[in-house]
Amino acid sequence: MGEVIITKILVTGAEGQLGTDLVMMLKVTGYDVLGMGKSALDITNEKKVYNMISQIKPDIIIHCAAYTQVDKAEAEPDYAFLINGIGTRNIALASEKIGAKLVYISTDYVFDGCEDAPYHEFAPVSPINVYGSSKLAGEMYVRDFHSKFFIVRTSWVFGGYGNNFVKTMLHLSKEKDQLKVVNDQIGSPTYTVDLSTCIMQLMESDKYGIYHVSNSGSCSWYEFAREIFSQTKNKIELEPCTTEEFPRPAKRPIYSVLDHMGLRINGFDPIPDWKDGLTRFLLQTKNNPQFFV
């Protein structure tokens, strides 16, 4: 019998919401996985990145590490671009040098939100905030410096680890009888488990390129909250409001629903509806109360 070769995978940002789920799911599936958080790997240090990746020699790098504080980025653009742009360049160059595949996690915020139909992978990009611009810079470095890449744009992510909209709504419902939630921003919620499953399918293929990966369907933040409380049988009073009523430092795209054209035309599995993803997430949290500590 021949030797069984196990794929070695490096996950950056392994302590984040997506990275944590990815590392667990990859391990369960039988991959040789190394997850690295911020303290283990400073992606802005080009020499350290190169040395670390040359030493580990992964077959695949999934680059989840990112600056994700959308509003704060407006006040510190240099730092956002350092991490999301230059940090990604460092990962891309080191990854290309050793011949590893690269999966880069990007965002729906590369779009301006001015369309009224879902954005496919070939639609022109035009970010309206620093965060979106810095993530687009990362995309550009990946495309310029790497030959075997998957750029995965996702949106409105929620999962068991870290902070997200679902957890915020459930926490607030314990403190308040009434909530106002924005009803004029439309997007696609995405469960980390479904996102991770799709990433694993992509990375095993040679169908390189840009992919939009979110749960199917779309909603406003208000409709998302309403579904959360409906599924948890929470009687809190919800009131829709406009973006203007809750001004924030960073502009958000009004419409950033992602069309999964890339997945369809390359023959990958369709992704479940966001309501189905929410159901499974709520079941996950019910079985694992520590998620809400």
The answer to whether the CB of 230 falls within 8 A of the CB of 282 is: no
Name the packing angle between helices 130-145 and 87-98 (round to 10°): 20
The answer to whether the CB of 104 falls within 8 A of the CB of 89 is: no
Q: Which residue is it, tokens 């919401």?
A: 17
Q: Which among 131, 141, 211, 222 is annotated as catalytic?
A: 131
- Helix, strand or coil, per DSSP, at residue 40: coil
Residue 177's Cβ-count burial label (10 Å; 0-12, 13-18, 19+) is exposed
Residues contacting residue 70 through CB under 8 Å, at least 6 positions apart = 109, 129, 131, 250, 252
Of 58, 68, 57, 59, nearest in space to 16 by CA: 68
Total residues belonging to the chain: 293
- Output the 3-class SS for 166-217: HHHHHHHHHHCCEEEEECCCEECCEEHHHHHHHHHHHHCCCCCEEEECCCEC
Please say if 131 is a catalytic residue.
yes
**DSSP character at residue 245:** G
* Distance separating alpha carbons of residues 146 and 60, to the nearest angstrom: 13
* Distance separating alpha carbons of residues 236 and 176, to the nearest angstrom: 8
Active site members: 131
